[in-house]
Amino acid sequence: MYTQKVMEAFQNPKNVGEISDYDGMGMIGSEACGDIMQVFIKVKDGVITDAKFKTFGCAAAIATSSTATEMIKGMTVEQALEVTNKKVVEVLGGLPPQKIHCSVLAEQAIKAAIDDYLSKKKA
Amino acid sequence: MEGIYFDHAATTPVDARVLEKMLPYFTENFGNANSQHGYGRRAVTAVDAARDTIARQIHAKPSEIYFTSGGTESDNWAIRGAAHALRGKGRHLVVSAIEHPAMLATAKELAKEGFDVTFAPVDEYGTVDLEKLKASVREDTIFIGVMTANNEVGTIQPIAELSAFARSRGIVFFTDAVQAAGSLAINVNDPAVDMLAISSHKFYGPKGVGVLYIRSGLKMGKLITGGHQERSMRGGTTNVAGVVGMAEALKLAQQDMRERAEYVSGLRDRFIRRVLHEIPYVRLNGHPSNRLPGNANFSFRYIEGESLLFSLDLAGIAVSSGSACSSGSLEPSHVLLAMGLKEGEAHGSIRFSFGKDNTVEQVDFAVDRLKEIVVKLRALSPLFPKDCKNEVMEKE
């Protein structure tokens, strides 16, 4: 049911962990739903220099977390905000219909981390 | 190590001796058991013999054995057939909250048709609460359905007390013995039940064939209408090879039952002991002792079940998750929720179900892999507490 790319990203996920001196952090989901995604970002001159994640969830949730954080590294904050769940799913070669919500979670967690960064910057 | 199959509650391989008995009924003895010629007679002789064998094994009369397509049809027929036949007498049905979806979904359909349904609660071990069930019964209760043993957590239910109570009140009592058959001795007279369902592929028989036992004299409606098969109670050409295989599989299972149960529960106990000793933050779901010999169900805290299932699969170990994702729905296991588990714990549950061909080496291999996987997934989990050590214990 999962593509080879999903299984690969699930087995060997990239960017696992936390960034202790992060510039932005977002956490989305709930234990009750079976998915929680936490994303940390480091930003320099408007560019995301590092991204890490921790995820409680199914294989699809872990694979999308890995892929999404990999995608936003090196992007400007504005570019990263354009990363939709659709694009993440594309990179993974598709997800089963009932797993699309996992990719939405990844998009939301990244947005939440960027929002956190932007609100801190203002303050 | 070759693939390790720890999902015998989902299905079992067909025993070689069973397959051998079945094969002629696909080819030279392919006749329709309803045909009037020699081909038909040879087929019906085989069907009759299978019916006799199954009847003997469960202490029923051959005329009380109705062949179906499996557990789901038997469950559907039992509750729907009884409800429709007895609707003039009452419209209240009682089923336990941890029944198989084949019962629960049908009960919900019947509720839409105007029946009242009570879903009887269970305790923390998944045992039906006898007193609460009794208290829910009304003047117009016509049907009580409780499974012999639960498919997810393996808890064995107090069928003797439940059936005695139901029948003393003139209420039809049905038990879904699909998971129990092959592991526990089935006798429709001890405890006496009105209806009972079994499915062949759970005890090393073929898929697509099951039985609904209906006590003679019981007023029952039909589910599948058609020809005159099964004493005009269930239409459809008899699955001759299937019923032949089912009879042989049941005979072998009953014959080897004590030995098999002892061996399988030995593997299961070793597995449970090692997991509970060596992996922290694990909960054994279901009753600690009063459970099916092959069943072990755990919740691994801070881990979601499907990611654990796939990791084990990649290591060559086949198990089942009671959780959301594997079934395609987002709901955690209704059984675990009924037992009072929090949704997060229910999402992290995994069922290991052992069979007669598993070995101690496979059990030890699986525990060793499981330990590595749990540590890896907990390192990924934002829920794992920072002040706890993510580690496992050495084997004793």
Amino acid, res. B4? I
B383:A36 CB<8 A: yes
Q: Does residue B36 sit in the same domain as residue B185?
A: yes
User: Does residue A87 fall inside a structural domain?
Assistant: yes
> What's the domain range around A8?
4-116
A37:B382 CB<8 A: yes
Percent pLDDT > 90 in chain B is 92
Per-residue tokens: B276: 């509970």
Using the 3D structure, point to which of B255, B279, B304 is the last residue of a domain: B255
* Domain of residue B284, CATH code: 3.90.1150.10
* Domain of residue A93, CATH code: 3.90.1010.10
A56:B303 CB<8 A: yes
Q: Which residues of B touch A10 (CB under 8 A)?
A: 307, 310
Q: Which residues of A form the catalytic set?
A: 33, 102
Q: What is the pLDDT of residue B70?
A: 98
Q: What is the pLDDT of residue B236?
A: 97
Q: Does residue B176 sit in the same domain as residue B287?
A: no
Q: Which residues of A touch B380 (CB under 8 A)?
A: 13, 16, 54-56, 62
A35:B304 CB<8 A: yes
Q: Does residue B228 sit in the same domain as residue B340?
A: no
User: Does residue B85 fall inside a structural domain?
Assistant: yes
Other beta carbons less than 10 A from residue B255's beta carbon: 11
How far apart CA B183 and CA B166 sit, in angstroms, is 25
pLDDT, mean over chain B: 95
Q: Does residue B183 sit in the same domain as residue B292?
A: no
User: Does residue B276 fall inside a structural domain?
Assistant: yes
The answer to whether ipTM exceeds 0.85 is: yes
User: Does residue B305 fall inside a structural domain?
Assistant: yes
Q: Tell me how far apart the 2 most distant CA atoms of chain B are, in Å.
A: 78
User: Does residue A123 fall inside a structural domain?
Assistant: no
Q: Does residue B250 sit in the same domain as residue B269?
A: no
Q: Does residue B263 sit in the same domain as residue B327?
A: yes
Tell me the mean pLDDT in the region B187-212: 98
Question: Which of A53, A24, A51 has its CA nearest to residue A38?
Answer: A53
User: Does residue B267 fall inside a structural domain?
Assistant: yes
Q: Does residue B336 sit in the same domain as residue B352?
A: yes
Q: Residue B284: is its pLDDT beyond 50?
A: yes
Q: What is the pLDDT of residue B323?
A: 47
Token pair 């395609």: residue:
B328
Q: Residue B363: is its pLDDT beyond 70?
A: yes
* Domain of residue B113, CATH code: 3.40.640.10
Q: Which residues of B touch A31 (CB under 8 A)?
A: 342-344, 347, 383
Q: Does residue B101 sit in the same domain as residue B250?
A: yes
Count of domains in chain A? 1
A10-46 pLDDT, tens digit each: 999 999 999 999 999 999 998 777 889 999 999 999 9
Q: Which residues of B form the catalytic set?
A: 325
B235-270 pLDDT, tens digit each: 999 999 999 999 999 999 999 999 999 999 999 999
Q: What are A's interface residues with B at a Cβ cutoff of 8 A?
A: 2, 7, 10-11, 13, 16, 27, 31-38, 54-62, 96, 98-99, 101
Cα dihedral B248→B250→B255→B260 (10° resolution): 120
| Residue B258 distance to chain A (closest CA, Å) | 39
User: Does residue B132 fall inside a structural domain?
Assistant: yes
User: Does residue B385 fall inside a structural domain?
Assistant: no
Tell me the mean pLDDT in the region B57-78: 98
| Residue A76 distance to chain B (closest CA, Å) | 26
Q: Does residue B212 sit in the same domain as residue B272?
A: no
Best residue in B300, B301, B304 for a mutation probing chain A (most A CBs within 10 Å): B304
Count of domains in chain B? 2
> What's the domain range around B174?
16-255
Q: What are B's interface residues with A at a Cβ cutoff of 8 A?
A: 302-304, 306-307, 310-311, 314, 323-325, 328-330, 332, 342-344, 347, 379-383
Q: Does residue B134 sit in the same domain as residue B24?
A: yes
Q: What is the pLDDT of residue B1?
A: 59
Q: Does residue B177 sit in the same domain as residue B312?
A: no
Q: Does residue B337 sit in the same domain as residue B231?
A: no
Using the 3D structure, point to which of B255, B290, B307 is the last residue of a domain: B255
Using the 3D structure, point to which of B197, B228, B255 is the last residue of a domain: B255
User: Does residue B170 fall inside a structural domain?
Assistant: yes
User: Does residue A44 fall inside a structural domain?
Assistant: yes
How far apart CA B207 and CA B196 sit, in angstroms, is 18
Percent pLDDT > 70 in chain A is 100
Q: Residue B114: is its pLDDT beyond 90?
A: yes
B143-177 pLDDT, tens digit each: 999 999 999 999 999 999 999 999 999 999 999 99
A55:B380 CB<8 A: yes
**Is the sign of the CA dihedral B12, B14, B16, B17 positive or negative?**
positive
